[in-house]
Structure 1
Amino acid sequence: MGCCCKTTTFILLIAAGIGLYHFYPCLFKCHDKLNLETLKVDDWFGHEKLKANQRIPKDSVDVKPFRVNVSDADLNDLQERLKRSRFIDHLQDTNFEYGFNSDYLRVVQQYWLNSYQWRKHEKMINSYPQFITQIEGLNVHFYHIKPKTTTTNKVKTIFPILLVHGWPGSFYEYLKSIPIFTEPDSNGIAYEIILPSIPGYGYSERPHKPGFNIPAAARMFVKLMKRLGHEKFIVHGGDWGAAISLAISTIYPENVRGLNQVGSFFQPSTFCDYRRMLMAYLMPKYYFGTDDWQRQWEKTFPFGEKFKYMLRETGYMHIQATKPDTVAAGLVDSPIGMAAYLLEKFSAWTHSDYMQRSDGGLVNKFTMDELLTNVMIYWTSGNIAASQRFYLENMQNYQLTRSLMQSKVKVPASIIEPAHDIMRTPKKFLEHLYENLLQFTESNVGGHFLAFEEPKIVVENIRQFSKLLLDFEEQKRQEEQKQQQEQQKKHDEV
Structure 2
Amino acid sequence: MPRPRSDVQAFEARATDADLDDLRARLAAARLPEAETVRGAPPGPRRWAQGVPLADLVEVVEYWRTGYDWRAFEARLDRIGQFRTTVDGLGIHFLHRRSARADAVPLLLTHGWPGSVAEFTDVVDELADPRDAGAPAFHVVVPSLPGFGHSDKPATPGWGTEKIAAAWVELMGRLGYDRFAAHGGDWGGVITTVLGGRFPDHVLGIHTLTPQAPPGLTTDGLTAAERAWAEETRGFWDGPRAAYAKQQAARPQTIGYALVDSPVGLLAWILDKFAEWSDTEDSPFERISRDRILDDVTLYWLTRTGASAARIYHESHDSLDPALRVDVPAALSVYPHDIEKCPRPWAQERFRNIVRWNTPGTGGHFPSLEVPEYFVKDLQQGLAAVLAARG
- Same fold by TM-score, threshold 0.5 exceeded? yes
The residue number in structure 2 matching 1:319 is 247
Under a length normalisation based on structure 1, what TM-score does the superposition of the two structures give? Answer: 0.73
Match of 2:229 in 1: 299
CA distance in 1, matches of 2:356, 2:160: 28
Rounded to whole Å, the distance in 1 between the matches of 2:215 and 2:383 is: 30
8 Å Cα contact 1:162/1:236 also seen in 2: yes
2:337 is paired with a residue whose SS is coil
1:464 deviation in Å?
1.6
How far did residue 120 of structure 1 move?
A: 2.1
Q: Does 1:462 align with 2:379?
A: yes
Q: Distance in 2 between matches of 1:373 and 1:425?
A: 30
Alignment check: 8 A CA contact 2:106 2:181 kept = yes
Written as runs of structure 1 = structure 2, the 5 A alignment for 1:401-480 is 401-403=319-321, 407-474=324-391
Q: Deviations over 1:309-358 (max 9, x none)?
A: 7512210111111111111101111101100001110001114x74xx4x
Identity of paired residues, percent? 30
TM-superposed deviation, 1:470 = 3.4
Aligned residue for 1:111, secondary structure, equals: helix
Counterpart code for 1:172: A
1:364 maps to which residue?
286
AA matched with 1:420: H
| Counterpart check, 1:67 vs 2:18 | no
Partners of 1:174 and 1:455 within 8 A in 2: no
Contact 1:61 1:133 in 2 (8 A): no
Aligned to 2:272: 344
In structure 2, what is the equivalent of residue 9 of structure 1?
A: none
The yes-or-no answer on 1:145 pairing with 2:90 is: no
Q: Distance in 2 between matches of 1:68 and 1:192?
A: 22
- Map of 2:316 onto structure 1: 394
Select 2:36's aligned residue among 83, 88, 91.
91
Higher-Rg member (1/2):
1
Point out where structure 1 has 5 or more consecutive residues left out of the alignment.
Answer: 1-59, 150-154, 280-286, 475-494
Corresponding residue for 1:232?
Answer: 179
Aligned mates of 1:309, 1:204 — CA distance in 2: 29
Q: Is the 8 A contact 2:52 2:268 kept in 1?
A: yes
Task: Supply the RMSD in Å over aligned alpha carbons.
Answer: 1.9
CA contact (8 A) 2:259 2:306 kept: yes
Q: Which segment drifts farther, 120-129 or 240-249? A: 120-129
| C-alpha distance after superposition, 1:149-175 (max 9, x if no partner) | 4xxxxx5x2110000000000001011
Alignment of 1:95-174 (within 5 A): 95-149=47-101, 155=102, 157-174=103-120
The whole-number CA distance in structure 1 between the counterparts of 2:30 and 2:190 is 36
> For residues 378 and 69 of structure 2, what CA distance do their matches in structure 1 show?
33
User: Structure 2 counterpart of 1:374, which letter?
Assistant: D
Give the corresponding residue for 2:259. Answer: 331
Counterparts in 2 of 1:85 and 1:134: CA distance versus 1, 3 Å: same
CA deviation after TM superposition for structure 1 residue 110, in Å: 0.9
Say if 2:302 is the partner of 1:380: yes
Q: Higher helix fraction: Structure 1 or Structure 2? A: 1
Deviations 1:213-264 (A, max 9, x none): 1111111111000111111100100100001111111111111001110122
The alignment partner of 1:379 has SS state of: helix
1-side partners of 2:201 and 2:234: how far apart? 37
